[in-house]
Structures are given as structure tokens and as C-alpha cells.
Amino acid sequence: KSAEKGGYAHFMIKEIHEQPAALRDTMSPHVDPENYTIRQQEMPLTREQVEDIAGITILACGTAYHAGMVGKWLFEAMARIPVEVDIASEFRYRDPIIRPGTLCIIISQSGETADTIAAMREAKRQGARILAITNVVGSTIAREADQVIYTWAGPEIAVASTKAYVSQVMVLTILAADIAHKRGRMSDEELRDYVKELLTIPDKAAKVLEMNSEIQRFAHKHFDKRSVFYLGRGLDYALALEASLKLKEISYIHSEAYAAGELKHGTIALIEPGTLVVSLVTQSKVIEKTISNIIEVKVRGAETLAVAFEGDTKAREEVKYLFTVPKTSDLFAPMLAIIPMQMLAYYMALEKGCDIDKPRNLAKSVTVE
């Protein structure tokens, strides 16, 4: 058994460490590292098909849904296409409306989640073109979708998804650029710069893994927290949702993710001396806004941790603890900034003695409704 884990104590930490490779393997088929372009034979949509997209609906569950939240942000900001992202179980029971010209993106690591399959079939019945992003070749979703882009994360064993998530985000990051470029929203030169920077992400992810002992020390100090709040805006909010899910699913510590601007509409009532508040502050356009929220919780006695890019000076001044990740484009932040959050969840759970790879009541793939 321990041989399967390649010397790691758990599959989860092994899979966290496999993320640079998962990112590279998922990216490589789609990008040309010499010309910094997207390889067209590997992309699902022609220019005409892209021009015909009236809207995008993303359907998924759990971590895959959180990847979808990142996708929404990227497609809207870069390609200017309206995007809905929906929890598959909500979509299927809501009598949903699919308008003509909808591209439906189904995200599922296993390709076998019952609600996601049902949502896909409903969208298909209503005439949407189905593009699946999945990690399992030959899975139900891969077989039934009109087109598939695979994530090449390799088998993911731990119930808490890590390398599948970053791989899903990688696919969405490439797809958003391809669609934006085909719709004339991104010039050839902009695309080249984008791809050039994207190519650095796997190595930067490997750098993030070097924070292991720093995060372990932090977890050792804070694992007895009863409640943790995660704040972020824009892409950082999408990231906060996933960071919060990681913590609660394996450490059983209550946690909530809040869009930072919503803080004063509820969560702030729960902040008391010693509450841990984790802020994601990678998005330069909104850093100052989120910092003002950090100050609000700090004056109420919260312990503050932020995740920011190296070189950030603004967040550093306001928080007690700071985790930094290598600088990249704001658009690529989720693929790097989630890694310390996964490690934090892992080490908190380890300190608590939890069954990390098989958390209570959870299944890797939910094939029943």
C-alpha cells in the first residue's frame, strides 16, 4: 500500500505533489512551446462555431463546480460571452432554460457523477452542444458528450480532489484564450504573451510545493480552530470556495467562503477574537478592496492569513501570516494559489488525526442521486 503512495503518507499529499506534472501533461497537447500558439488540431471548436456561441452554461458538482466558477470569470472577462455556472443537481431539477446557441461545458473528474450525467443529458435534450472536460477516458460523460477535452492528471485516488482541479482550471484557461482569440478579443500578440506565461505555470507550481514545512508549522499552531473563513473577490472568490471545501471535507473544521464584499452582510457577525480568516488577494484590481475587509476583521480580533503573489506589499502590512506564490498573470493565479490552501487543509487534518484519504461520509464519485 505504501509503495502505491510512492513514499508519501497519504494519496492526497502525493497527488498535491503531482500537480506540476498534471498541469504540464494537461497543457502540453494544446500549446506549441516554440511559437507560443494554441494547437488548433487539439481544440474542439472552429472559428465559425465559436462565433455562433450565444452563451455558455457550465455544469458540475463539488470541486469541478469550483473550477467552473473560475471558467465563468475567464470566459466573461476574456471572450465577453455570458456564462452561467450551475450545480448539476440544481440544474436538472429546476426546469432549466437552454437558449439556442448555448455551449454547455460539463466538468467532471470521474465522468460518472450521477447528477452531472443527468444535467448533461437535459442540456443535450434541449439542443446544447456538449463539451466535456473529464479525467477518465471512456467514462459515461466522455462517451455521451459531443466533444471532450481530457485532463491528464492521472488517476486521482484521494477523495479530496487536488490535481484534477488544477488540471480542469488549466483546460479552461486554454479554452478561454482560444475562444477569445477566435472572437477577435485577443490579438495574436496577446495570445503569444499569454501562452508564454502559461508555459511557466508547472514550474511555478513546483516552487509552491517548497512551502511544505512553512504550512506544516502554521497548521500545527492553528489546527484547533473551530471555524475558518475564506474571503476573496472575483477569481479569488472562486478560489476561496475551493479552499474552504478542501478544509472542511478532510479536517471537519467548519469553514465558509465569502465573497469579500458580502462580509458585512452576514459573516462579520461571526468574527470574534481568534477566528481564523484566510484572504485570497491575488487579483490586483481588487486587492485594496479586500484589504479593507481584512482590516475590518482584524479590528474584531481575527487571526489573519493571506495568500498573495511574491512581491506583494499591500497585504503583507495588514496580515499576521502571509503565504506567497510566484508572480504570474492574475488570470493564472487560481492554479498556483490553491496549492498552499490544499496543503493547509492536509496538514490541519493530519494534526487532527483525520482519515485524510477517506473522509467520513464522502465518496470519490457520487454515482447515486
Choosing from 26, 109, 275, 304, the residue that interacts with ligand G6P (CB under 6 A) is: 109
Q: Residue 337 phi/psi, 5° resolution?
A: -70, -20
Applying CB under 6 A, which of residues 26, 57, 161, 279 lies at the interface with ligand G6P?
A: 161
Of 68 and 232, the one with the shorter C-beta distance to ligand G6P is: 68
Number of residues that bind ligand G6P (CB under 6 A): 15
Report residue 367 as a C-alpha cell. Answer: 454515482
Single out the residue of 57, 89, 102, 113 in contact with ligand G6P (rule: CB under 6 A). 113
Window 197-226: residues binding ligand G6P (CB under 6 A): none
Least Å from the CB of residue 140 to ligand G6P: 10
Written as nine digits, the cell of 47 is 472559428
Query: Least distance to ligand G6P from the beta carbon of 143, Å?
Result: 15
Between 109 and 283, name the residue whose CB sits nearer to ligand G6P: 109
Residue of 124, 327, 352, 364 with catalytic role:
364
Tell the burial category of 188 from Cβ atoms under 10 Å away from its Cβ (0-12, 13-18, 19+): exposed
List the one residue from 94, 127, 362, 367 that touches ligand G6P (CB under 6 A).
362
72 catalytic per annotation? no
Q: Which residue's C-beta sits nearest to ligand G6P?
A: 62
Residues with Cβ within 8 Å of residue 184, at least 6 apart in sequence: none
- E-strand ranges in 193-282 read 227-232, 254-259, 276-280
Site string for ligand G6P, 29-68 (x = CB under 6 A): --------------------------------xxxx----
Q: What angle do CA 359, 345, 236 make, to 5 degrees?
A: 120
Point out which span in 108-116, 233-241, 276-284, 322-330 binds ligand G6P (CB under 6 A). Answer: 108-116
Cα gap 105→67, rounded to integer Å:
11
Cα separation, 79 vs 181, in Å, equals: 8
One-letter amino acid identity for 82? P
Nearer to ligand G6P, 195 or 241 (CB): 241
Considering only 110, 173, 275, 328, the residue that binds ligand G6P (CB under 6 A) is 110
365 contributes a contact to ligand G6P by CB under 6 A: yes
Q: How far is the CB of 155 from ligand G6P (least distance, A)?
A: 12
Tell me how many degrees the CA angle 319-323-328 measures, rounded to the nearest 5. 115
Please, what is the minimum distance in Å from the beta carbon of residue 225 to ligand G6P? 23
Smallest gap from Cβ 85 to ligand G6P, in A, equals: 14
Which span sits near ligand G6P by CB under 6 A: 105-113, 175-183, 227-235, 283-291? Answer: 105-113
Looking up cell 479536517, which residue turns up?
251
User: 10 Å Cβ neighbour count for 221?
Assistant: 11
Q: Of 47, 347, 337, give the one whose Cα is nearest residue 216.
A: 347
- Report how far residue 346's alpha carbon sits from residue 216's, in angstroms, rounded to the nearest whole number: 9
Taking CB under 6 A as the criterion, the residue among 19, 26, 108, 304 binding ligand G6P is 108
CB 26 within 8 A of CB 171: yes
Rule CB under 6 A: which of 114-143 touch ligand G6P?
A: 116
Sheet holding 55-60, edge to edge: 83-87, 55-60, 102-108, 129-134, 147-150
Of 289-348, binders to ligand G6P (CB under 6 A) are: none
Contacts of 40 (CB under 8 A, 6+ apart): none
Minimum Å distance from CB 148 to ligand G6P?
14
Least Å distance, CB 349 to ligand G6P, is 14
| Contact in structure between 61 and 367 (CB atoms under 8 Å) | no
DSSP run (H or E) holding 176:
helix 163-182
Binding site for ligand G6P (CB under 6 A): 61-64, 108-110, 113, 116, 159, 161, 362, 364-366
> What are the catalytic residues?
364
